[in-house]
Structures are given as structure tokens and as C-alpha cells.
Amino acid sequence: MLSIGLILLPVCSVQAKTAVNDHRHPTSKVSSSEKQCRLDIYHLVKKDGRSFRPNLQIAFITDNLYRQRYVAMKTGISHPTGFENISYYRSGQPIEVFTANWRNNGTKHTVSRLVMLGGTSDKQAFDVLSGLMKTDQGHFELRDNANRYRLNANRNDISAFFTCLNDYYHE
């Protein structure tokens, strides 16, 4: 598990460590229960000219028992640590800006939670980013200082995630 602030973030290692060698190339995964709703979206890059591996993972997570919600991000250990602005783009136009405070977690990953630019609430970032992602049906782009990540979540995963929110996460 990754410790981020006061909430523990379980690492989804199935797709994060395993190359995707078939033609499906999954780009998202959902898990839902009375305790937690979670949608993971992966940005895939081609390695060795034939297999795809994720180089960025975004997790929309709710803890339904304690009424927590946040967006966590995970990338490789070589990603610089510290604060970084991450912009949400739609059709090539910037829509919203978030801030990540990247920290190394052991020797394999760099992790962060998102907040709104100039803000401190990870709940607000969750609400804004999940709303944008839902509006764009899971097809969006994030840009940081050096990279562009085009993300494409499966529609069924998005639907299952928001169904979980409606069924189990109540304010």
C-alpha cells in the first residue's frame, strides 16, 4: 500500500507491472463495493516495440465509510519530486489547472494527490476532475511541465464508477 497523507492508497499492480500483450490494451479498471469506489485510468506507452505498459496511473478514489474522496496519481521513480501544475485539456484547449506534490514512494514509484491550483482540498479536485472526465466520456488530456498524457477510459468502467458513487457514496 502507498501511504499518501492520512489515507492509504492500495497499489493496483496487475496492469501496472504486467505488460499488455494482447489487442485489448486496457486503459482503465474499476472496483466498487460498499466501502470504496475506485476508477483507475492508465496512460500507456509502447515498450520494446511490441508491448504496452502504463507510465501514468490516475486513481479516482472514495472511502465510503469515512466520506473521503481524492484523486491520486502514480508514475515512475524518475519523475521529479515537488510541486507541479497539471493542466486538463479538452480539444487542445486548457480547461482547468491542478497541482500535484510529487513524492518518491520507496524505489519504484513517485506518487501525489491532486488539488486545485491555489487550493488545498483534494475533495474539490476530485469533484472537478471527475465531472470533467464524465463530461468528456473518459477521453481527455493532461499536461505537466514536460509531458502530454492522452487518456481514454472505458465507458463501462466510467458508468460502473458513477453508479458506485450514486449507490454508496452519500454526503
Q: Is 90 left (phi over 0), alpha (psi -120 to 50) or beta?
A: beta
Domain that holds residue 8: 2-168
**Residue-by-residue pLDDT tens, the chain, 171 positions:** 433 443 334 433 333 333 333 345 679 999 999 999 999 999 998 888 778 888 999 999 999 999 999 999 999 999 999 999 999 999 899 999 999 999 999 889 999 999 999 999 999 999 999 999 999 999 999 999 899 999 999 999 999 999 999 999 987
In angstroms, the CA 125 to CA 17 distance is: 27
Predicted confidence at residue 2, as pLDDT, reads 39
In angstroms, the CA 144 to CA 146 distance is: 6
Predicted confidence at residue 13, as pLDDT, reads 34
Contact 86, 94 (CB under 8 A): no
Predicted model pTM: 0.84
Contact 127, 134 (CB under 8 A): no
In one-letter notation, the amino acid at residue 87 is: S
Count of Cβ atoms closer than 10 Å to residue 12 Cβ: 17
* Extended beta strands in 91-143, E state: 93-105, 109-116, 139-143
Predicted confidence at residue 106, as pLDDT, reads 87
In angstroms, the CA 55 to CA 27 distance is: 11
What is the total count of domains within the chain?
1
Any bridge partners for residue 66, and if so which?
none
Predicted confidence at residue 65, as pLDDT, reads 93
* Nearest-10 Cα torsion for 127, 58, 152, 32: -70
Predicted confidence at residue 23, as pLDDT, reads 44
Element housing 38 (H / E)? strand 36-47
CA distances from 112 to 15, 36, 42 (A): 19, 19, 15
